[in-house]
Amino acid sequence: MPWAPAAVTLRSVPPEPTHRPSARQDLADFLVYLGAELQVSRHTVAAYRSDLQRLLGAADALPARPAIDRHLAQLLQSHAPASVARAAAAIRGFYRFLHAEGRAPEDLAEGLLGPRLEQRLPKALSRAAVRRLLDLPADAPLSVRDHAMLHLLYATGCRVGELVGLTTHSVIAEHRLLRAFGKGGKERLVPIADAALAAVQRYLTEVRPALRARAKRDPGAILFLSRTGRPLDRVRVFQVVQGACTAAGLTVACSPHALRHSFATHLVAGGADLRSVQEMLGHASLQTTQVYTHVDHERLRAVHQLLHPRGAANGQQSAAHDRRST
């Protein structure tokens, strides 16, 4: 019996799927996508997991748009606006992923908005406060280590997560550069001031070998080690910075992030262009760096008064010239 063309055609068409993945499987695949393909930090992946698990609950089906809106409205009653804004971002990314992968016929979270956040201006330490912090005595071995960390945080503006990931190969002494890996594993090179380089080299020579020798498990090339030779974690770095601020008698809020803000603020105040500061901070967008332009109002006002024809200084000179001319 000859073959029927219709039968051949039917066999060439893939069968329709009898079911789609569960919402939990969708979430698992999305988290893999974030980490493996977008290479976002593990902290962001963990935060998005928590946000989306809260949305999905125990249900296997994906919530529709009205349920998403109700969920965010409920979050606003018990969570900070920043947390709700992050949850909205997680939901937008999740549903956009599902639509792009063909798992959802439409992007149900398109146009979803979180609460509007007020832009928080960075809090920077004064130059005098930073000087007091970096001038603390460094005699004991751990204080030598802490001294090196404080210097690097302020000299390079690196994030605390970048600091704990530094290795002995990250410091390129001959070129006075620090190689840091920021968000998404993006590499950047940042100049190191001589004082910071000297502090790090002293730690490498006098302290780190002894700390490494105490380790039960070899920490490898990790730069900053604990008292027992383990790699330092973010919490311990935060504690070190706060303890140093207390020892220096500083009453302002002090943290590794405050030192990063101080680094950028003092560069801009000294006349650095935003593009250079952007590269040193590892910002993906110049818009993120532009927040630092607010810190230099006083310097701009002084420049205006000095150079503008109607500025205070030139105005006085102009008035004196007019009196002589009459």
> Would you write out the chain's pLDDT as a tens digit for each of its 326 residues?
443 434 333 334 444 444 567 888 999 999 999 988 887 888 889 999 999 999 998 777 889 999 999 999 999 999 988 889 999 999 999 999 999 999 988 998 998 888 876 666 557 899 999 999 999 999 999 999 999 999 999 999 999 999 999 999 999 999 999 999 887 778 899 999 999 999 999 999 999 999 999 999 999 999 999 999 999 999 999 999 999 999 999 988 788 999 998 999 898 888 888 888 888 988 887 877 877 766 555 566 666 777 777 766 555 554 454 555 55
Q: Is 283 a catalytic residue?
A: yes
Q: Is 147 a catalytic residue?
A: no
Q: Is 216 a catalytic residue?
A: no
Q: Is 95 a catalytic residue?
A: no
Are 160 and 256 within 8 A, CB to CB? yes
Query: Pick the catalytic residue: 260, 261, 266, 324?
Result: 260
> Could you give the domains of the chain?
18-100 (1.10.150), 127-254 (1.10.443.10)
Are 155 and 257 within 8 A, CB to CB? no
Residue identified by tokens 């919402």 is 23
How much is the pTM? 0.63
Q: Is 176 a catalytic residue?
A: no
3-state helix/strand/coil string of 256-319? HHHHHHHHHHHHHHCCCCHHHHHHHHCCCCHHHHHHHHHHHHHHHHHHHHHHCCCCHHHHHHHH
Query: Pick the catalytic residue: 179, 230, 257, 304?
Result: 257
Are 29 and 21 within 8 A, CB to CB? yes
Are 179 and 156 within 8 A, CB to CB? no
Query: Pick the catalytic residue: 183, 212, 230, 304?
Result: 183
Q: Is 24 a catalytic residue?
A: no
